[in-house]
Amino acid sequence: MPSTAQSRPPLLNFIVHLLFSVATTVLLYLISLGPIPQHVGFVMDGNRRYARGLGKEVSEGHGEGFAALKRTLEICLRLRIRVVSVYAFAIDNFSRSENEVSALMRLAKDRLAELCQHGALLEEYGVQIKFIGQISLFPPDVQQAIKEMEEMTAGHKNGVLNVCSPYASRDEITTSIQNTHRSVYNGELEKDQITSTTVFNNLGTSQAISKVNPGLFKRPEESGKLDILVRTSNVKRLSDFMMWQASEDTQLHFVNTFWPEFGLSDMIPILLGWQQKQWIKQLGWD
Ligand SMILES: CC(C)=CCC/C(C)=C/CC/C(C)=C/COP(=O)(O)OP(=O)(O)O
């Protein structure tokens, strides 16, 4: 039987943990010597299949999915990836059972809120949180928690975590068009000044990114575009996620791992693949 953290003596556990964290630091350092993507998006898929496969409750799958989100976010922040966007709740996820929806709400209200507290991950890396989507569909207590998370981290200018929730890309694009129309109606914009850039700049993600210090981006005008889009659990669909932000240059990665098991060993080949593409481009070999 393979040994687990629970079955190993504490000293051995400590040594394994130490070796793992040294190896992680070395690997991340080596990757950081190459080009680093500005914006990475994750469709965190497979929580329920993971849980069912292990005979666990669906809510446990989502709980472990949250741990994977925290782990993956930390990897991105350590590498100075400035924008991380995650698909946490699709608008049509409201049709899931009441139990499941409330388990997800609790994760947002409690565990996500913990990451925004003083001294926690988002403050450590100077990153703000922004919810992208139809927040008004959430119950009042969740809306209040979201407001507090956003206010608490608003002063952080090193990056942004976009939590797409309750989200649909078509809905985000529609809202952007409505806002663009409002600017014309208010006389702030001429009708013939509307371009695809105007609509792009009015997307929720672009608005959130505009609060990040632009000096931190190598290509500030492209910070809203996704460099990499990852979907877990061997499903090869976009499911209405960031359809405008996924541009001609976005690298799509569909990985077999269920989201709760996603981590460094999945991220390394994705990042190395992206770096390789950048070098090929720089050399003019593409
Ligand atoms: C609120 C918050 C920040 C939560 C973090 C936890 C987390 C990863 C949420 C994603 C929820 C979700 C609908 C995942 C998709 O997998 P699925 O449930 O559709 O799984 P399946 O594809 O196996 O059915």
Residue 123 pLDDT: 97
Over 70: is that where the pLDDT of 3 sits?
no
Q: Looking at residue 247, what is its pLDDT?
A: 86
Residue of 42, 43, 48, 138 to test ligand 1 pocket, by largest number of atoms within 8 Å of CB:
48
Per-residue confidence (pLDDT) for residue 172, from 0 to 100: 97
Percentage, residues of the chain above pLDDT 90: 89
185-244 pLDDT per residue, tens: 999 999 999 999 999 999 999 999 999 999 999 888 888 999 999 999 999 999 999 999
The Cα–Cα gap between 223 and 212 comes to 10
Look at 218 and 53; give whichever has higher pLDDT: 53
Which band of pLDDT confidence, cut at 50, 70 and 90, is reported for residue 7? confident
> Residue 21 corresponds to which amino acid?
S
Task: Report the percent of the chain where pLDDT is more than 70.
Answer: 98
User: Which residue's CA lies nearest to atom 5 of ligand 1?
Assistant: 66
Ligand 1 atom index nearest CA of 87: 10
* 244 Cβ below 6 A of ligand 1: no
Calculate how far, in angstroms, residue 64's C-alpha sits from the geometric centre of ligand 1.
Answer: 10
- Nearest C-alpha neighbor of 255 from the set 229, 227, 225: 229
Please write the tens of the pLDDT for every residue from 54-88: 999 999 999 999 999 999 999 999 999 999 999 99
User: Is the model's pLDDT at 11 over the cut of 90?
Assistant: no
Instruction: Tell me what pLDDT residue 145 has.
Output: 97
What is the CA(274)–ligand 1 centre distance, in A?
26
Report CA(164)–ligand 1 centroid distance (Å). 12
Strand pairing of 83-87 and 127-132? unpaired
Q: What is the C-alpha R_g of the chain?
A: 20
Ligand 1 atom closest to the CA of 233, numbered from 1: 22
By three-state DSSP, how is residue 235 classified? coil
Report the separation in Å between the CA atom of 199 and the middle of ligand 1, taken as the mean of its atom positions.
29
pLDDT, tens digit, for every residue of 84-128? 999 999 999 999 999 999 999 999 999 999 999 999 999 999 999
Residue 138 confidence (pLDDT): 97
Give pLDDT, residue 273: 96
Query: Span 262-270, mean pLDDT?
Result: 97
CA of 255 from ligand 1 middle (Å) equals 16
Say what the pLDDT of residue 2 is.
Answer: 56
Judged against a pLDDT cut of 80, whether residue 286 lies above it is answered with no
**Which helix (H) or strand (E) element contains residue 84?**
strand 83-87
Q: What's the gap in Å between 247 CA and the centre of ligand 1?
A: 24
The Cα 236–Cα 257 span in angstroms is 13
The ranges assigned to domains in the chain are 37-167+225-277
Please count the other Cβ atoms lying within 10 Å of the Cβ belonging to residue 121: 16
**pLDDT tens-digit readout, 15-42:** 998 999 999 999 999 999 999 999 999 9
Mutate which of 97, 115, 259 to test ligand 1's pocket (most atoms within 8 Å of Cβ)?
Answer: 259
- The per-residue pLDDT for 219 is 86
**1: pLDDT strictly greater than 70:** no
Mutate to test the pocket of ligand 1, among 104, 111, 230, 262 (most ligand atoms within 8 A of CB): 104
Q: What is the ipTM of this complex?
A: 0.95
- Domain 37-167+225-277: which CATH number of 1.10.3720.10, 3.40.50.720, 3.40.1180.10, 3.40.190.10: 3.40.1180.10
Distances (CA, A) of 106 to 43, 101, 120: 20, 9, 19
What are the beta bridge partners of residue 167? 90
Residue 33 pLDDT: 96
Q: How far is the CA of 96 from the centre of ligand 1 (A)?
A: 11
